[in-house]
Structure formats: structure tokens, C-alpha cells
């Protein structure tokens, strides 16, 4: 393990049934002008919108609304938000929704005062952040991405057919995030399981790298076990507060930098999913689940020890009497069974992909990886095998 790191992740988290009570106090820390960013309709149906408006009124804010942020937020919406920030001299961007809304808010924050084209500068050329940003606050309504406590911002450029993620420095994190597990009760089942698999994929893509004895790997195993356990409860009883709380906090921990400490990390499954998303607009975690099983079956031999450890420590499989490959495969099979138990589709066809898309997707992906870096041809084979 490379015991040589700086850890800094400055988001204040308010967690629990009463966490919205902290909103007014937080709003008082910022200037008068607020850009209130949200999705299509969920927060209006659930009454969260009314609570937010009440808090904004009680704190005498001047509010500009940006409604309709899409799942898989678009660059066009980022530019629209950036314009609103400049025109209305915005002091705080308040994002209320899932990862898409919070990612879009962060993208607006870094883009509003960017010289030149922010897409090219930050999502294509990956230049360091060099301009002023606007503070972001978040109220989370759907779990999975950990956008509420990281610097990630994944944006789809529809004209270029590219969905690209960027991890900005910690100053771009939401300054505060409000997490009430009850807000997630209304998330439709397919979105809920998409979020659950997103958490699992974040954990696996940090876990399957490196060979060292690493504290982080033990943390990941524990969080994985908690998510698997609580998900089984929550899919049968979506209003089980304890299970939804565990999933919500596990989701934050899975990608709030703590599970990446001193890890090389993989991220090829995410790289593949992002391009599947650019072509099909599928829910993020569903695309991840479809690709994960063929991907791990393809690469496990390059990281055999870790896959055996995964079978033993995460799935508690008795590996005595099994060869190492057999044990590793048993762990991957347990993951595949869990995906089926969640009711997640297992083929690209089911999420609207067509055969002619596969080469276009495969050749638009940047090959990366943990134990093995794939070629474009290998990525294409993986896509064909789950078509």
C-alpha cells in the first residue's frame, strides 16, 4: 500500500429524518441570489419542492429556477445554467435531486466563469480548474452516485455523442448536503436498483486493483456486505428506514474518496457504461450491471488472488476444496445471481442498444483498467457477449 496521501473532502453532511431542518441555517451562510436546480417532476410530486421554496422564502432569497435537468444531464443544460448564474449574479447553486442534478450543478459552477469552451477545457482536455466557481449545496433524493460528497460531474454532450466524467478538486464538492433516507422511498424500482448497482460498481472498481495489504480493501468489503444485505431488505420493503439509511450512507461512502485511498483503481466498467449511456440514455447503474459480469469473467485471471478473496470475504463462499479459478468464478457467479435478484436486465438489447451501435460504442471508449487494460477489440467482444 502506498501510505502516502493527503485526504481532504470538505462536505458537511446532514443525515436523517430531521435533516431538512438544517436548510435555512445553511442558506444564511450565502448571499441573496440562489439558482434552484432540479429535475423533471419528482420533487414537486413528493412535496420536497414546497419545503425548499419555504426555506428560500424564510431566508429572503431571490430565486431563479432551472427545472428539467435530465437523467444523464446534457452540456446544453450546463451552458443554460452558466448563463443564468452570470445574469442573476448567483451566490449559491442549490441542487435538489439525484446524481444528475447535482452533477449538473457542479458543471454549472465550474463553467459559469470559464474562459473558452468549458466542455473542451474540463471534460476533453482535463485541464486543471483555473477559474472562480460558485458554491453548490445539495438535497439528495436518489442514492447511488455519491455526487453529494465528491467532486465528480458526468455530462453528456449530445452533439458529440460523448458522456464524460470529470473529478474536480474538493472545492467543487457540495459545501453541504442534506440526506433524508425517507426522500428515497418514492424512487421507482428500476431507478432504485440502478442506484444500488452503481454503489456496488464504485466499490468493485476501486477494489479490483493492486495486490497490497490495504486498509481500504477491508473497508470496501464491509461496505459491500452492508449494501448487499440492506438491498435485499429494501427491494421487498422500500419503506424500511434502516435499510434505506444504510444504502444511502453506503452510497456516499462508496465514492466520497475514502474507498479510493491508496488504490490504483480500475474504472473500465464505468468507461464502457458512459458510452453505452451516450448511445442509449439508459439508467447509469443498469448499464454498469449488464457490462460487469462479462467484464469480470474476462479479466479475473489477471487478478486471481483478489477475485478469490472477493468470493471468500464478500460472499462468504466456502472455497475449501475448490481450485483458485473455480473459487474466483464462484464469487462472480454470486454477483450475477444478486443482479438477477434485484431484477436488473442482463442484456444491452433490453435497454435499447442495437447491433450497429456496438462498434461505435467500443471504439469511442478510452481503454483503461486495473489488472488488465483492454483493447478496443476486446471491449467490442465484451459488448457482443452481453448484447
Residues facing 306 on adjacent strands? none
Find the part of the chain contacting Zn ion (CB under 5 A) among 180-188, 191-199, 208-216, 229-237.
191-199
Q: Which is nearer to ligand NZQ, 121 or 270 (CB)?
A: 270
Distance CA 128, CA 39 (A): 29
Find the part of the chain contacting ligand NZQ (CB under 6 A) among 81-89, 95-103, 303-311, 332-340.
95-103
Should residue 189 be labelled a site residue for ligand NZQ when binding is judged by CB under 6 A?
no
Q: Write phi, then psi, for 30 (nearest 5 degrees).
A: -125, 165
Name which of ligand NZQ, Zn ion, none residue 360 binds, using a CB cut-off of 5 to 8 Å depending on partner kind. Answer: none
Should residue 198 be labelled a site residue for Zn ion when binding is judged by CB under 5 A?
yes
CB of residue 65 to ligand NZQ, shortest distance in Å: 13
Distance CA 48, CA 97 (A): 10
Q: Which is nearer to ligand NZQ, 184 or 216 (CB)?
A: 184
Should residue 187 be labelled a site residue for ligand NZQ when binding is judged by CB under 6 A?
yes
Should residue 287 be labelled a site residue for ligand NZQ when binding is judged by CB under 6 A?
no
Should residue 103 be labelled a site residue for Zn ion when binding is judged by CB under 5 A?
no
Q: Which is nearer to Zn ion, 143 or 177 (CB)?
A: 143
- Residue found under cell 462536505: 11
Should residue 205 be labelled a site residue for Zn ion when binding is judged by CB under 5 A?
no
Check: CB of residue 45 under 8 Å from CB of residue 186. yes
Name which of ligand NZQ, Zn ion, none residue 74 binds, using a CB cut-off of 5 to 8 Å depending on partner kind. Answer: none
Strands 152-157 and 162-167, bridge-based pairing: antiparallel
Q: Which of 40, 89, 132, 232 binds ligand NZQ (CB under 6 A)?
A: 40
CB of residue 155 to ligand NZQ, shortest distance in Å: 8
Distance CA 350, CA 236 (A): 24
C-alpha cell at 202: 464504485
Name which of ligand NZQ, Zn ion, none residue 263 binds, using a CB cut-off of 5 to 8 Å depending on partner kind. Answer: none
Distance CA 73, CA 102 (A): 10
Should residue 157 be labelled a site residue for ligand NZQ when binding is judged by CB under 6 A?
no
Q: Which of 183, 208, 249, 310 binds ligand NZQ (CB under 6 A)?
A: 183
Distance CA 299, CA 378 (A): 11
Distance CA 93, CA 81 (A): 10
Distance CA 358, CA 119 (A): 25
Report the Cα 30 to chain-centroid distance in Å: 27
Distance CA 292, CA 331 (A): 13
Q: Which of 66, 146, 172, 219 binds ligand NZQ (CB under 6 A)?
A: 146
Q: Which of 21, 41, 62, 67 binds ligand NZQ (CB under 6 A)?
A: 41
Q: Which of 81, 195, 260, 303 binds ligand NZQ (CB under 6 A)?
A: 195
C-alpha cell at 11: 462536505
Secondary structure string (H, E, C) spanning 22-42: HHHHHHCCCCCEEEEEECCCH
Should residue 72 be labelled a site residue for ligand NZQ when binding is judged by CB under 6 A?
yes
Find the part of the chain contacting ligand NZQ (CB under 6 A) among 93-101, 123-131, 301-309, 327-335.
93-101
Distance CA 145, CA 199 (A): 7
DSSP letters spanning 247-263: HHHHHHHHTSSGGGTT-
Should residue 144 be labelled a site residue for ligand NZQ when binding is judged by CB under 6 A?
yes
Residues that bind ligand NZQ (CB under 6 A): 39-42, 46, 71-72, 97-101, 103, 141-142, 144-147, 150, 152-154, 165, 183-184, 186-187, 191, 194-195, 198, 255, 270, 284
Residues that bind Zn ion (CB under 5 A): 198
Amino acid at each position: 500500500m502506498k501510505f502516502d496521501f493527503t485526504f481532504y473532502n470538505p462536505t458537511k453532511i446532514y443525515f436523517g429524518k430531521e435533516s431538512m431542518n438544517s436548510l435555512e441555517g445553511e442558506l444564511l451562510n450565502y448571499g441573496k441570489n440562489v439558482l434552484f436546480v432540479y429535475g423533471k417532476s419528482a420533487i414537486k410530486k413528493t412535496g420536497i419542492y414546497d419545503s425548499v421554496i419555504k426555506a428560500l422564502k424564510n431566508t429572503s432569497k431571490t430565486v431563479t429556477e432551472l427545472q428539467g435537468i435530465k437523467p444523464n444531464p446534457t452540456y446544453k443544460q450546463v451552458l443554460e445554467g452558466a448563463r443564468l448564474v452570470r445574469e442573476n449574479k448567483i451566490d449559491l447553486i442549490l441542487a435538489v435531486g439525484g446524481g444528475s442534478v447535482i452533477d449538473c450543478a457542479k458543471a454549472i459552477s465550474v463553467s459559469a466563469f470559464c474562459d473558452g469552451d468549458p466542455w473542451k477545457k474540463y471534460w476533453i482536455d482535463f485541464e486543471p480548474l483555473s477559474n472562480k466557481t460558485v458554491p453548490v449545496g445539495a438535497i439528495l433524493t436518489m442514492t447511488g452516485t455519491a455526487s453529494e460528497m465528491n467532486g465528480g460531474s458526468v455530462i453528456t454532450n449530445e452533439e458529440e455523442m460523448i458522456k464524460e466524467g470529470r473529478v474536480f478538486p474538493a472545492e467543487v464538492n457540495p459545501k453541504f448536503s442534506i440526506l433524508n433516507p425517507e426522500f428515497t422511498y418514492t424512487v421507482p424500482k428500476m431507478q432504485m436498483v440502478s442506484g444500488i448497482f452503481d454503489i456496488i460498481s464504485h466499490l468493485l472498481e476501486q477494489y479490483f486493483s493492486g495486490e497490497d495489504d490495504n486498509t481500504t480493501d477491508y473497508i470496501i468489503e464491509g461496505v459491500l456486505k452492508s449494501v448487499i444485505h440492506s438491498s435485499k431488505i429494501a427491494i421487498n420493503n422500500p419503506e424500511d428506514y434502516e435499510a434505506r439509511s444504510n444504502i444511502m450512507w453506503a452510497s456516499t461512502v462508496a465514492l466520497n474518496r475514502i474507498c479510493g485511498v491508496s488504490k490504483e483503481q480500475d474504472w473500465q466498467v464505468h468507461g464502457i457504461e458512459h458510452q453505452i449511456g451516450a448511445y442509449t440514455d439508459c439508467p447509469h447503474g443498469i448499464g454498469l450491471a449488464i457490462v460487469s459480469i462479462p467484464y469480470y469473467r474476462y479479466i479475473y485471471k489477471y487478478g486471481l488472488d483478489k477475485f478469490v478473496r472477493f468470493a471468500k470475504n464478500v460472499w462468504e463462499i466456502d472455497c475449501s476444496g475448490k481450485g483458485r479459478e473455480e473459487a474466483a468464478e464462484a464469487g462472480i457467479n454470486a454477483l450475477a445471481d444478486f443482479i438477477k435478484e434485484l431484477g436488473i436486465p442482463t442484456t444491452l438489447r433490453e435497454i435499447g442498444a442495437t447491433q450497429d451501435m456496438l462498434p461505435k460504442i467500443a471504439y469511442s471508449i478510452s481503454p483503461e483498467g486495473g489488472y488488465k487494460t483492454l483493447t478496443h477489440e476486446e471491449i467490442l467482444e465484451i459488448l457482443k457477449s452481453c448484447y
